[in-house]
Structure formats: structure tokens, C-alpha cells
Structure 1
Amino acid sequence: MTQSAPHPLSPQDCLVALMIAVSASDEDIRTVELMKIQTAVNNLPVFASYDIDRMNTMAQTVFDLFEQVDGLDALFGLIRENLPERLFETAYALSCDVAAADGTLQESELRILEEIRYELNLDRLHAAAIERGARARHIT
């Protein structure tokens, strides 16, 4: 199998892309959201072997996709192709943490979280528990 296989994204790339997409969903990427993404990548075991330089590549990929008409659908296509199911709840938890990082949830952030829940086919009860945990971690 060659390196140019149809899987350009690692599972970690997918997680980073989703976090960036949540942050960019309201067209205002806040410092606190970027810090949340950076902290996750620097500290969580799932990112232990992740090349931190890939973050800029993933950010640019998300920004490029968001400029296209069906960009969000294209992003979710990449996520479905490259993110293993065992990381679906992790992806949603990280997305919720980024959305909650600034202490408020914008309508656009709520919409993209709903879309992520749908695309990852997360059980509603599990999603609610993840959301509750994010709320508890980010309360002031």
C-alpha cells in the first residue's frame, strides 16, 4: 500500500479539525478556544504521537472547506472516512470543550455540535452526559 492512499488524515487530524471547526463556526476564533485546542493536543493521551505542526495544516483545511458551499459536508465526509468509531465520543467531548471554553455557547456552535452528534451517530443520552461534563468543567 502506498503513502498516497485515500486516507490523508490521521484520527488525530480529524479530532483537531473538528475542534477548529467548532471554534470557527461563529466566525470568531477566540484565544481561549485556541488555548483549549492547544492544551488538548499537548496533554491528552490520544495526541501522544501527534505532530503538532499538523495543527496549522488542519486549520487551513477547515478554513478552506468553510469557504466552499458544501464545505461542512465535505469536512464530515473526511471525518467519516478517517476517524475510527472508538473515537466518536472523544471527538464530541473535545468539540463540546472548545464550544464551552469561552463560557458562552453561540447559536452557530450549538448548530455545529448538533451536526457533529448527528454525523457521528451518537446516542442522545451519551451526548447529553458529554455535554453536561463540558458544562461542569467550564462553569465560572
Structure 2
Amino acid sequence: MNDNIPHPLSPQDCLVAVMIAVSASDENIRTSELVKIQSTVNHLPIFADYDIDRMNTMAQTVFDLFEQEDGLDALFGLIRDNLPARLNETAYALACDVAAADGTLGDEELRLLEEIRYELDIDRLYAAAIERGARARHMTT
């Protein structure tokens, strides 16, 4: 794992890691997904004091973890340890937005979203509402 990351991770680091993980889940990081992540970090209030340079560190951490056999479990462990429970729905909403950004949801992204729901203990009804909101925000004509 990348030793350049001071522990614990910030809640914002965790949110960025979740977004990057969803983008990287299908092994094809699309420009639209990267633009969505960048835009999210630039505009949402929770990222107001976030050091934008940390995004590269978090991306490398996610990529390093994904190369390991139990990397996804390790990623969720880091997130559970460092993301306050009050931000679990935020993390899921951001994950859904990144997944929907390119207009398609592949099997890998769907599986990862399901895993995020489970790992972050997102109520199924809330998850459905979050997913519907993401779908509505990313509709095309």
C-alpha cells in the first residue's frame, strides 16, 4: 500500500476514493467520469477545504489496492475506519453520480455499487432514491 498517505484518511479522502473506485471498477476510466469527480471536488461544500493534490494520491491508493487480491476489502476497511457514518449516504450518492456520468452502467459498476450499499449499510429505500436521483441528473434527450 502507498505509505505516502498520513493516517487516518480524511472523510474527503474517503469520498474521493469511493468515486475513483467506481470509475476504475470496469478497468476503463472514462473522461466523463474524471470530469464528474473533478467537478464534484471543485463544487461541493464538503470539499471546500480539500487539498486537490490529494486526489492523485487517493487515485494511486485505489489503483494499488485493486491490484491486490483482497484490495476491495482493504479499501472498504479504510473507508469504514475513516468515513463518519453520517457521510455514508453522501459517499453512495457520489458513487452513483460517477457511475451514471458516462450514460452506461456496466456489470462491474453495478456490482461495486451493490457492495458499497452493503459495506456502508445504506437502507435499500434510500439507495433506490439516491440511484433515481443520479439517473435523473444524468439523463440525455
Whether TM exceeds 0.5 here: the answer is yes
Structure 1: how far apart are the matches of 2:7 and 2:131?
30
Q: Which amino acid aligns with 1:81?
A: D
What number of residue pairs does the alignment pair up? Answer: 135
Q: Which runs of 5+ in 1 are unaligned?
A: 1-5
**Deviation of residue 89 (structure 1)?**
0.5
Q: Secondary structure in 1 aligned to 2:51?
A: coil
| Equivalence for 2:20 | 20
Structure 2: how far apart are the matches of 1:7 and 1:24?
23
| Equivalence for 2:87 | 87
Structure 1: how far apart are the matches of 2:29 and 2:17?
13
Q: Which amino acid aligns with 2:12?
A: Q
Q: Which amino acid aligns with 1:96?
A: C
Q: Secondary structure in 1 aligned to 2:60?
A: helix
Structure 2: how far apart are the matches of 1:130 and 1:116?
13
| Equivalence for 1:70 | 70
Work out whether residues 33 and 101 of structure 1, in 8 Å CA contact, stay in contact via their aligned partners in 2. yes
Structure 2: how far apart are the matches of 1:10 and 1:112?
22
**Deviation of residue 32 (structure 1)?**
0.4
Q: TM-score, normalised by structure 1?
A: 0.95
- Percent sequence identity is 84
**Deviation of residue 8 (structure 1)?**
2.7
Work out whether residues 7 and 81 of structure 1, in 8 Å CA contact, stay in contact via their aligned partners in 2. no
Q: TM-score, normalised by structure 2?
A: 0.94
Q: Which amino acid aligns with 1:60?
A: Q
How do 1:45-56 residues align onto structure 2 when only pairs under 5 Å count? 45-56=45-56
| Equivalence for 1:134 | 134
Q: Which amino acid aligns with 1:82?
A: N
**Deviation of residue 7 (structure 1)?**
3.5
Structure 1: how far apart are the matches of 2:16 and 2:112?
15
Structure 2: how far apart are the matches of 1:58 and 1:46?
17
